[in-house]
């Protein structure tokens, strides 16, 4: 199969069926999906040790990644800006929080931690870098490629938080691993990602199995094992609250999405019947 487009030189030889995917609720009021990438093997969730580090946002990204049936890797960048002690504490806080995904840390500036990161890159596999703007996603790819293949902006010029990358781009490393660079995301809204949320909070799911009532909503029900765990300090209250928040947001958007789809369908039927009444085109 070959498709030609007059304005470009690209030839599409075939389209792979979409299996694993990364998507989010599109930004703004509209309730719809925005596809970020498809058929990737692993998502690298990047946070900078400097200012950007945030467990709640990490949980949000994890929910989205798990929902797309993709394995997450957590990567902390800019380790040169904090002490080894602070870094150790940061990594420990991720694990103590109940997040079990693999955590790596590196500095694009000094190259510390690079070997460990390169070890996880398997030839033939595709990795998508995700994270806020300015955390060093493009710098990481450039360093892996050994040259400034993609543009980054200097901190002095723009400061953290301004976008350097404006489109998604796939690069192939010399040894055959593929990396997708993406523009920094300000938000990653959840839509119908309940399974992804559950999968990201396995500790809470395990506790839920011990609640007295099967339909426990873990809000104020008696015999709730999750509330008991929060009470005795076994489960962090922030993590518990974020779990409820992400679930609620995901379900709420899913409901609006279905409603909108039904309305659109009804409208489509209406248009069809009106066109029919108007008779065949002359």
Distance in Å, CB of 139 to ligand GTP, minimum: 3
Part of the chain binding Zn ion (CB under 5 A), chosen from 15-23, 70-78, 155-163, 222-230: 222-230
Q: Does 226 bind Zn ion (CB under 5 A)?
A: yes
When the beta carbons of 163 and 265 are compared against ligand GTP, the nearer one is 163
When the beta carbons of 114 and 257 are compared against Mg ion, the nearer one is 114
Part of the chain binding Zn ion (CB under 5 A), chosen from 77-85, 127-135, 214-222, 259-267: 214-222
3-state secondary structure the chain: CCECCCCCCCCECCCCCCCCEEEEECCCCCCCEEEEEECCCEEEEEEECCCCCCHHHHHHHHHHHHHCCCEEEEEEECHHHCCHHHHHHHHHHHHHCCCCCEEEECCCCCCCCHHHHHHHCCCCCEEEEEECCCCCHHHHHHHHHCCCCCCCCCHHHHCCCCCCCCCCEEEECCCCCEEEECCCCCCCECCCCHHHHHHHCHHHHHHHCCCCCCCCCCCCCCCCHHHHHHHCCCCCHHHHHHHHHHHHHHHHHHHHHHHHHHHHHHHHHHHHHHHHHCCCCC
Residues 11-70 that bind ligand GTP (CB under 6 A): none
Taking residues 151 to 190 in sequence order and writing x for each that binds ligand GTP by CB under 6 A, - otherwise, the string is: -xxxx-------xxx-----------------xx------
Distance in Å, CB of 130 to ligand GTP, minimum: 10
When the beta carbons of 130 and 216 are compared against ligand GTP, the nearer one is 130
Report residue 240 CA to chain centroid gap: 20
Which parts of this chain interact with Mg ion (CB under 5 A)?
137-138, 164-165
Part of the chain binding Zn ion (CB under 5 A), chosen from 57-65, 93-101, 220-228, 253-261: 220-228
Looking at 136, 189, 229, 235, which residue binds ligand GTP (CB under 6 A)? Answer: 136
Q: If contact means CB under 5 to 8 A according to the sort of partner, which of Mg ion, Zn ion, ligand GTP, none does residue 47 touch? A: none
Chain residues that interact with ligand GTP, rule: CB under 6 A: 77-78, 80-81, 107-109, 133-139, 152-155, 163-165, 183-184
């Amino acid at each position: 199969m070959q498709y030609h487009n007059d304005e470009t030189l690209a030839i599409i030889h075939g389209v792979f069926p979409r299996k694993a995917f990364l998507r989010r609720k599109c930004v703004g009021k509209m309730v719809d999906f925005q596809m970020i990438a498809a058929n990737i093997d692993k998502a690298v969730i990047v946070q900078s040790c400097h200012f950007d580090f945030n467990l709640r946002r990490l949980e949000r990204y994890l929910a989205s990644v798990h929902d797309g049936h993709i394995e997450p890797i957590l990567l902390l960048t800019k380790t040169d800006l904090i002490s080894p002690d602070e870094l150790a504490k940061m990594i420990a806080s991720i694990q103590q929080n109940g997040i079990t995904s693999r955590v790596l840390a590196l500095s694009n500036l000094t190259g510390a931690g690079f070997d460990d990161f390169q070890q996880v890159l398997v030839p033939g596999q595709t990795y998508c870098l995700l994270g806020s703007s300015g955390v060093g996603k493009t710098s990481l790819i450039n360093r892996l490629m050994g040259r400034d293949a993609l543009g980054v902006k200097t901190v002095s010029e723009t400061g953290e938080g301004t976008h350097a990358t404006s489109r998604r781009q796939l690069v192939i490393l010399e040894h055959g691993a593929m990396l997708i660079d993406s523009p920094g995301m300000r938000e990653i809204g959840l839509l119908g990602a309940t399974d992804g949320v559950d999968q990201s909070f396995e500790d809470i799911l395990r506790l839920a199995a011990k609640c007295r009532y099967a339909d426990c909503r873990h809000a104020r029900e008696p015999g709730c094992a999750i509330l008991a765990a929060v009470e005795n300090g076994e489960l962090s209250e922030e993590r518990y609250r974020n779990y409820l928040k992400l679930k609620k947001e995901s379900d709420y958007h899913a409901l609006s999405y279905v409603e909108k789809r039904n309305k659109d369908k009804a409208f489509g039927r209406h248009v069809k019947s009106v066109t029919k009444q108007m008779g065949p085109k002359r």
